[in-house]
């Protein structure tokens, strides 16, 4: 028997040559027995049987040959140890790797396909691969150890997913230094919409890297500058369906010196991920980096909606606008409950004043509930988030080059931490009330001048008190009067205004949609508008009116448009707004700017007008050089045009629109220098009331407002006539009413004109630009008419019908009475000395205020 078996041994030894020590490859029918090893070509890695720590069990593994460590970087039979030294590794003729103990298969690669001339080779990268002989393309490996990592990531190894095969490559810790079987901790990529890596403790998240932001993981420091290695996060897309992701993985490689030994592994005793570098001198692995680094890195250590700042004591802080869910536990340093909004956001109550507060340098929240679009920009992202009431935050998905892409977060924001520096911005949704303090970020700040000054109430403080009083009273009384649409930046108003604005927004969606359908005016898609204006870029901006900025845009078909983006937090409800837009759309006259359509999407309200190439009248008449383009005949033509447009608004349109803010900058000129009035109906659309009489809202511009309107809030078509009179004087004089005319120190233009009129010297008013071209009788007639228009008492002023008759005929005109001198130069009114700077500046001040009295 013994001889027989010895013979068999000899024969088999001769037929199947045993492996030469230090060969790198294993061919069919060769085997590696316990005690033998494969060594990679340059001698970096070695494969063989080993026993970890105090264990006596045998495992097949790969380790660095030159490192004196009993720790294998890869283990084949983690879960199936061999209890003696009888294990052998073989490669079958079909190319299947098998680990056997005697005749039983302990482990098999389960490779089903037949290989041609299979060989197994231990590469110098540490990858143990099965391939066809002569075939070295990694894509064709039929099996490779890099696809089944243990607890260690080697340079060049991929951590992540191959979505074509569903293969997940992740690290799993050892159970203990003596037991390489899978422990509790694992590190892998979770395929959320915006994926990120998690270190899991069992099924609990223990640490996350944060998503890849183009430069690095949001939660790791900026390691692009490290001298040793380079890392990348790769997402490859399907060649045909570019949106189908094929592979997503992280990997690192050595840059300077590929003979450096660097590994990343999970340390099962310390429960961390550590990057270690072999020190030749000290003959040991030195720790280069560990994560989690500190307390703040531990997953959700501060609970929901809180920010962890490691430098703070205590480290956890609620996000702005949030408060601890359980103040008692919070104050005793138990933060697990996290923070909540004082008042939950509710979808029924979409708040038109919701804002986003920008946080800088954050590790962005857990991405489990996210939505991603890599092709849209931040502004569209903001809109997307705004329009979905469950969206809590948004950010660029890629921060490179100023940022691109869009991620939205839904639900609680979990595991945020603050870094002292960093380019990662996150925008968190705040109800309007919570964001007041953030108003300095305000993207819509509109200069508001408080109209109470006109009423003689001195000082801003008293105004605020007054506003509070008024608003409170109005809350107590009828809840829903017309609170101004524009933002008045005094905080008390802001708060109360908000409350008051809500009910209008309860209007049902169907209701609004029905209204929109009824409308025969084109409804523009927001994306069309953003595309046309290059996303409301500052280069496209051509002006800023009382109701918001105006942009020039170009539609896909080449048509140029003017886009008026109404201030986003305007209080105007959608239904009312749509009603008014319908009315405005019906106003069609050659001296009115044509409304082409509009766009309404949640908070965005946009009016689209025809574009006027020559801009506004004020850019001509108040400019000494451009003023020469408008000679007298042209100016006279313009005066007539404005008068006709205004007449149409007042009478012919059936709607009796009172403009309320007629001024040079609201008169636009087309390519033939025909005047067209713009912004008509805006006061109505925004103020809500258009009945003659008292308004609780003053809309207008200094220098053009009739005294009874500015002081008492009384408006009528005669207050428009007053503005027209001022405009007429300005067109003739080339000076703004508010500016000093001809160096006169005490009078505004109207006062100056009146003085000259009484001195019978009005020709002095004429702008030097038109001195040569003017027809004296026409100019005199215009001055006469303008003085009739600016008379103090509305009943004395002519109607627009009369104005046109007077301008066009040569009949005798009645003598004007003293004009309403308002506004005088403000320095004349002692008690207004608090705001002289605004008043003496040359810029036009638009007044939009709660109350004129
Ligand atoms: C391993 O160490 C030996 C002797 O110390 C040395 O000759 C050899 O070059 C080293 N191999 C590698 C790959 O570092
Ligand atoms: C080793 O394992 C085999 C199979 O698992 C078992 O049958 C055998 O008894 C074990 N031997 C020892 C010494 O534990
Ligand atoms: C393996 O085979 C040898 C000889 O046939 C036998 O002595 C040994 O017990 C076997 N080991 C196991 C684990 O079955
Ligand atoms: C991992 O989870 C277990 C069980 O949930 C827990 O006992 C242990 O403390 C956790 N480890 C760490 C490092 O948090
Ligand atoms: C690369 O690293 C090895 C081992 O640390 C060292 O011996 C060698 O000098 C280094 N080579 C270079 C070019 O830095
Ligand atoms: C884990 O950490 C401990 C303590 O720092 C260390 O002694 C041990 O060698 C580490 N294990 C590994 C695999 O790095
Ligand atoms: C908001 O987003 C969530 C998550 O993507 C989605 O389920 C929900 O339908 C959206 N709601 C609206 C109103 O778009
Ligand atoms: C991060 O590294 C990149 C590349 O070197 C550099 O441009 C950027 O300024 C760094 N950012 C910070 C916050 O250090």
Q: Where are the domains of the chain?
A: 17-148, 149-293, 297-430, 507-610, 618-847
Q: Is 84 in the pocket of ligand 5 (CB under 6 A)?
A: no
Q: Is 462 in the pocket of ligand 7 (CB under 6 A)?
A: no
Q: Is 102 in the pocket of ligand 3 (CB under 6 A)?
A: yes
Best residue among 24, 41, 43, 124 to mutate for probing ligand 1's pocket (most ligand atoms within 8 Å of CB) is 43
Best residue among 173, 184, 268 to mutate for probing ligand 4's pocket (most ligand atoms within 8 Å of CB) is 184
In eight-state DSSP terms, residue 44 is: -
Ligand 2: centre distance to CA 106 (Å): 12
Q: What is the pLDDT of residue 498?
A: 25
Helix (H, G, I), strand (E, B) or coil at 789: helix
Closest ligand relative to 290 C-alpha: 6
Closest ligand relative to 420 C-alpha: 8
Q: Spell out the alpha helix ranges (H) of 249-306.
A: none
Q: Is 41 in the pocket of ligand 1 (CB under 6 A)?
A: no
Taking the domain 507-610, which CATH number applies?
Answer: 3.30.200.20
Q: Is 57 in the pocket of ligand 6 (CB under 6 A)?
A: no
Distance between CA atoms of residues 262 and 606, nearest Å: 58
Q: Which atom of ligand 1 is nearest to the CA of 44?
A: 13
Return the axis-axis angle of helices 491-501 and 460-476, rounded to nearest 10°.
20
Q: Spell out the alpha helix ranges (H) of 539-621.
A: 574-586, 618-621
CA atoms within a 13 Å half-sphere pointing along the CA-CB vector of 693: 2
Distance between CA atoms of residues 207 and 171, nearest Å: 14
Best residue among 82, 86, 106 to mutate for probing ligand 3's pocket (most ligand atoms within 8 Å of CB) is 86
Distance between start and end Cα atoms, the chain: 121
Q: What is the pLDDT of residue 785?
A: 94
Kindly report the protein residue whose alpha carbon is nearest to atom 11 of ligand 6. 267
Taking the domain 17-148, which CATH number applies?
Answer: 2.90.10.10
Best residue among 267, 275, 286 to mutate for probing ligand 6's pocket (most ligand atoms within 8 Å of CB) is 267
Ligand 4: centre distance to CA 200 (Å): 10
Return the axis-axis angle of helices 632-647 and 717-733, rounded to nearest 10°.
170
Q: Is 86 in the pocket of ligand 3 (CB under 6 A)?
A: yes
Q: Is 828 in the pocket of ligand 5 (CB under 6 A)?
A: no
Kindly report the protein residue whose alpha carbon is nearest to atom 9 of ligand 6. 267
Ligand 8: centre distance to CA 222 (Å): 6
3-state secondary structure 331-396: HCCCCCCCEECCCCCCCCCCCCCCEEEEEECEECCCCCCEEEECCCCHHHHHHHHHCCCCEEEEEC
- Which of 179, 415, 661, 767 is flagged as catalytic? 661
Ligand 1: centre distance to CA 355 (Å): 62
Q: Rg of the Cα trace of the chain?
A: 39
Angle at 699 between CA 696 and CA 703, to 5 degrees: 125
Ligand 7: centre distance to CA 410 (Å): 9
> 682 near 770, Cβ under 8 Å?
no
Closest ligand relative to 44 C-alpha: 1
Distance of CA 594 to the CA centre of its chain: 32
Kindly report the protein residue whose alpha carbon is nearest to atom 1 of ligand 7. 388
Q: What is the pLDDT of residue 212?
A: 92
In eight-state DSSP terms, residue 682 is: H
Distance between CA atoms of residues 546 and 448, nearest Å: 9
Ligand 8: centre distance to CA 384 (Å): 29
CA atoms within a 13 Å half-sphere pointing along the CA-CB vector of 81: 15
Q: Is 257 in the pocket of ligand 5 (CB under 6 A)?
A: yes
Kindly report the protein residue whose alpha carbon is nearest to atom 4 of ligand 1. 66
Max CA distance (Å), the chain: 145
Distance between CA atoms of residues 630 and 636, nearest Å: 9
Mean pLDDT by 10 residues, the chain (853 residues): 47 42 80 92 94 93 87 94 93 89 88 80 94 84 94 95 92 95 95 93 94 88 70 82 81 86 93 91 88 90 92 87 90 90 67 71 93 88 83 92 92 91 84 44 28 33 38 33 26 23 37 57 81 84 80 86 76 67 82 88 82 88 84 91 91 79 90 88 54 52 79 83 93 80 68 89 87 88 93 91 87 87 43 30 38 32
Closest ligand relative to 101 C-alpha: 3
Q: Is 224 in the pocket of ligand 8 (CB under 6 A)?
A: yes
Q: What is the pLDDT of residue 684?
A: 62
Strand order in the sheet with 97-101: 31-33, 87-91, 97-101, 104-108
Q: Is 411 in the pocket of ligand 7 (CB under 6 A)?
A: no
Angle at 377 between CA 374 and CA 383, to 5 degrees: 110
User: Is residue 812 annotated as part of the catalytic site, yes or no?
Assistant: no
Kindly report the protein residue whose alpha carbon is nearest to atom 4 of ligand 8. 224
Residue 231's alpha-carbon distances to 226, 235, 276, 499, in angstroms, are 10, 13, 15, 51
Fold designation for 618-847: Transferase(Phosphotransferase); domain 1 (1.10.510)
Q: What is the pLDDT of residue 342?
A: 83
């Amino acid at each position: 028997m013994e001889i027989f078996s010895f013979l068999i041994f000899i024969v088999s030894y001769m037929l199947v040559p045993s492996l030469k020590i230090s060969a790198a490859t294993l061919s069919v029918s060769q085997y590696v027995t316990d005690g033998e090893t494969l060594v990679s070509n340059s001698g970096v890695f070695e494969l063989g049987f080993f026993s970890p720590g105090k264990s006596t069990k045998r495992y097949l593994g790969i380790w660095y040959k030159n490192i004196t460590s009993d720790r294998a970087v890869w283990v084949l039979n983690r879960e199936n140890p061999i209890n003696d030294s009888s294990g052998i590794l073989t490669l079958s003729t079909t190319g299947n790797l098998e680990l056997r103990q005697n005749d039983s298969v302990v482990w098999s690669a389960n490779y089903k396909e037949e290989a041609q001339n299979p060989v197994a080779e231990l590469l110098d990268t540490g990858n143990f691969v099965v391939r066809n002989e002569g075939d070295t393309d990694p894509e064709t490996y039929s099996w490779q150890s890099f696809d089944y990592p243990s607890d260690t990531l080697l340079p060049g190894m991929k951590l992540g997913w191959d979505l074509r095969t569903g293969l997940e490559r992740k690290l799993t810790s050892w159970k203990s230094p003596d037991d390489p079987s899978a422990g509790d901790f694992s590190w892998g990529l979770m395929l959320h919409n915006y994926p990120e890596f998690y270190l899991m403790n069992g099924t609990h998240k223990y640490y996350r890297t944060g998503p890849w932001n183009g430069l690095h993981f949001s939660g790791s420091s900026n390691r692009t500058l490290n001298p040793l290695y380079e890392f990348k996060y790769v997402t490859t897309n399907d060649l045909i369906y570019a949106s189908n992701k094929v592979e997503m993985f992280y990997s690192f490689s050595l840059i300077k010196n590929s003979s450096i030994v660097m590994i990343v592994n999970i340390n099962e005793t310390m429960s961390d991920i550590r990057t270690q570098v072999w020190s030749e001198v000290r003959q040991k692995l030195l720790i280069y980096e560990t994560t989690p680094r500190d307390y703040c890195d531990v997953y959700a250590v501060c609970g929901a909606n809180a920010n962890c700042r490691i430098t703070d004591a205590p480290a956890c802080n609620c996000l702005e606008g949030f408060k601890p869910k359980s103040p008692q536990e919070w104050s005793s340093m138990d933060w697990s409950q996290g923070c909540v909004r004082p008042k939950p956001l509710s979808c029924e109550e979409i708040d038109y004043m919701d804002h986003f507060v920008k946080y800088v340098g954050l590790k962005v929240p857990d991405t489990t509930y996210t939505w991603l679009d890599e092709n849209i920009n931040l502004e569209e992202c903001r809109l997307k988030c705004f329009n979905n009431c469950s969206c809590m935050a948004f950010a660029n998905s890629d921060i490179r080059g100023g940022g691109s892409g869009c991620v939205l977060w839904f639900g609680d924001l979990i595991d945020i931490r603050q870094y002292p520096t960093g380019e990662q911005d996150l925008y968190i949704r705040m109800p309007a009330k919570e964001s007041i303090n953030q108003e300095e970020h305000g993207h819509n700040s509109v200069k508001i001048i408080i109209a109470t000054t006109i009423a003689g109430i001195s000082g801003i403080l008293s105004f605020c008190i007054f506003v509070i009083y008024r608003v409170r009273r109005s809350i107590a009384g009828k809840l829903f009067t017309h609170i101004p649409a524009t933002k008045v930046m005094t905080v008390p108003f802001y708060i109360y205004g908000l409350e008051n604005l809500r009910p209008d927004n309860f209007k049902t969606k169907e209701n609004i949609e029905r209204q929109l359908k009824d409308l025969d005016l084109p409804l523009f898609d927001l994306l069309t508008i953003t595309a046309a204006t290059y996303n409301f870029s500052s280069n496209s901006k051509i002006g800023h009116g009382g109701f918001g900025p105006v942009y020039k845009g170009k539609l896909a078909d080449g048509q140029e448009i003017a886009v008026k983006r109404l201030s986003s937090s305007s209080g105007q409800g959608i239904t009312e707004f749509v009603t008014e837009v319908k009315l405005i759309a019906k106003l069609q006259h050659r001296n009115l700017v044509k409304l082409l359509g509009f766009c309404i999407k949640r908070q965005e309200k946009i009016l689209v007008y025809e574009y006027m190439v020559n801009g506004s009248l004020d850019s001509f008449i108040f400019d000494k050089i451009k003023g020469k383009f408008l000679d007298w005949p042209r100016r006279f033509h313009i005066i007539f045009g404005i008068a006709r447009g205004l007449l149409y608004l007042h009478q012919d349109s059936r709607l009796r629109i009172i403009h309320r803010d007629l001024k040079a900058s609201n008169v636009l000129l087309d390519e033939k220098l025909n005047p067209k009035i713009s912004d008509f109906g805006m006061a109505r659309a925004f103020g809500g009331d258009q009945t003659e009489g008292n308004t609780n809202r003053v809309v207008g511009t200094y220098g053009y407002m009739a005294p009874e309107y500015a002081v008492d809030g009384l408006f009528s078509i005669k207050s428009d006539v007053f503005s027209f009179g001022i405009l007429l004087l300005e067109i003739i004089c080339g000076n703004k009413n508010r500016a000093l005319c001809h160096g006169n120190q005490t009078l505004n233009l109207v006062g100056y004109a009146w003085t000259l009129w009484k001195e019978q010297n009005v020709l002095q008013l004429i702008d030097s630009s038109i001195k040569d071209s003017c027809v004296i009788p026409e100019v005199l007639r215009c001055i006469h008419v303008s003085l009739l228009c600016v008379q103090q008492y509305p009943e004395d002023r002519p109607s627009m019908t009369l104005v046109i008759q007077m301008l066009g005929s040569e009949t005798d005109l009645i003598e004007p009475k003293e004009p309403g001198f308002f506004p005088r130069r403000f320095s004349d009114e002692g008690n207004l000395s608090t705001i002289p700077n605004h008043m003496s500046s040359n810029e036009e001040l638009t007044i939009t205020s709660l109350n004129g009295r």
